[in-house]
Structure 1
Amino acid sequence: MIKAVLFDLDGTLLDRDASVLKFAADQADRLGIADKEKYIHRFIELDARGYVWKDKVYQQMLREFDIPQMTWENLLEDYLESFHKHCVPFPNLIELLEGLKAAGYKLGLITNGFERMQMSSIQALGVECYFDCIIISEREGIKKPDSMIFQKALKVLGTAPSESIYIGDHPDNDMKAAKAMGMKTIWKRDTQWESVEADYVVDELEEVLGIIVSDK
């Protein structure tokens, strides 16, 4: 019987692609970039869906764009200070979390990334209050797919892997790692991958509650 539901953040609760697009467009406007579309395209390309940290991204952006009186450090700080203002949740996020809490499930969140960035995104989405456990890789000194980060979350929640289900978008960091722990898995489909091994597959968050409630 499922007692705890754990989530990934980026690509699962946070529509990171849409958020990055909004942020890059806003930053280009504020910097007065002449070719706004090129700036947006290159930022998204260099960002590599968050797998390249922004110090390297902005060092390259300065080589390609004329941004007077700005250093890569200035641009990085602007990213850190401003990204959360552009966070886009996937549809039905709050409804899902409220439904799970009302049904009595414990909720956890496990995310790779820097604590400052991830917490500001979580708070911007307005979901911090729903979680009994928030695990961020920088704070823990371990990151997915390391089994220890899942063990940490389950210990805090007080549930066994067999009593827990994990929802994420990454085939290895989320699905494979959680399954190896003995947890059930729900893959939130991402078009970057054609197929992923998981117990369930969803396209929208609104599908999740029904799956969990029916999984006895």
Structure 2
Amino acid sequence: MRFTNKTDIFFDLDHTLWDFERNSALTFEMIFRKHAIAVDLQAFLQHYVPVNMKYWALYREDKIDQVTLRYKRLKEVFDLVPHEIKDSDIHLISEEYIKYLPTFNHLFDGAIDVLDYLKPKYNLHIITNGFQDVQNGKLKNAKIEHYFATITNSEMAGVKKPNPKIFEFALQLAKADKATSVMVGDSLEADMEGAKNIGLDALFFNETKTVEPHDFPQIYHLSEIKNIL
């Protein structure tokens, strides 16, 4: 299929353009080495990936705050590994993780090529649930901030995807019409359903090749966007 008569494209950032898992792994590797934390990195990451997703889901639903998210995801993983560690060290790792994560800048394969292809044809934007300072650092260090006319995050909007208000906020900020806009993201709940619920077309970046049932057009590699837009 192809989207026609579109003027504005809204991208999610983490897991869509910015390779979160790769950059996250490099951040933990650096922090563990810096503080001589004797944990097997791969074993840690095997637990961290699903645990982090679980706590982000709770954060999206406003069941926990930022501080709880940052502490509990690490506490739970260290308990699962298992590895005895003081609470003060967990808080230190949490702070350093947020500090150093944006300094790694790996993007998904094809991201720059696709942005170069889209930029002359469309107005490009970001809608992210991530923390404002962290997300701005990612965009800057990955040298992609100049592609985007507007950047909407959940702190600015006061709500998180899939809440319709963040999409409405982003559309208003971009001076865009939802009828001529498309949301591109990796989360069926936050990005796809959130966009659908306000009548915004959505394109699912299924990089992990999930088999969850859905009725959204999808791509498995960012380069496939060229066949759709």
How far does residue 66 in structure 1 lie from its aligned partner after superposition?
4.7
Q: 1:186 maps to which residue? A: 203
- The percentage of aligned residue pairs carrying the same residue is 25
Q: 2:53 maps to which residue? A: 48
How far does residue 193 in structure 1 lie from its aligned partner after superposition?
4.5
- Structure 2 Cα separation of the partners of residues 142 and 28 of structure 1: 33
Q: 1:196 maps to which residue? A: 214
CA contact (8 A) 1:28 1:36 kept: no
- Pick aligned residue for 1:10 from 9, 14, 27: 14
Q: 1:156 maps to which residue? A: 173
Q: 2:228 maps to which residue? A: 211
- Structure 1 Cα separation of the partners of residues 196 and 45 of structure 2: 36
1:42–1:29 Cα change, 3 Å: farther
1:129 and 2:146 matched? yes
Counting only pairs closer than 5 Å after superposition, residues 93-108 of structure 1 correspond to structure 2 as 93-103=111-121, 105-108=122-125
- Structure 2 Cα separation of the partners of residues 35 and 111 of structure 1: 31
Give the superposed CA RMSD: 2.3
Paired residue type of 2:162: P
Q: What are structure 1's unaligned runs of at least 5 residues?
A: none
1:84 and 2:89 matched? no
CA contact (8 A) 1:168 1:174 kept: yes
1:154–1:26 Cα change, 3 Å: same
Deviations 1:143-180 (A, max 9, x none): 11111111111112222111001101111211112122
Q: 2:64 maps to which residue? A: none
1:185–1:17 Cα change, 3 Å: same
- Structure 1 Cα separation of the partners of residues 54 and 116 of structure 2: 28
Paired residue type of 2:101: F
CA contact (8 A) 1:20 1:44 kept: no
Aligned length: 210
CA contact (8 A) 1:24 1:43 kept: no
- Pick aligned residue for 2:90 from 72, 91, 103: 72
Q: TM-score, normalised by structure 1?
A: 0.86
Q: 2:62 maps to which residue? A: none
CA contact (8 A) 1:21 1:44 kept: no
CA contact (8 A) 2:171 2:177 kept: yes
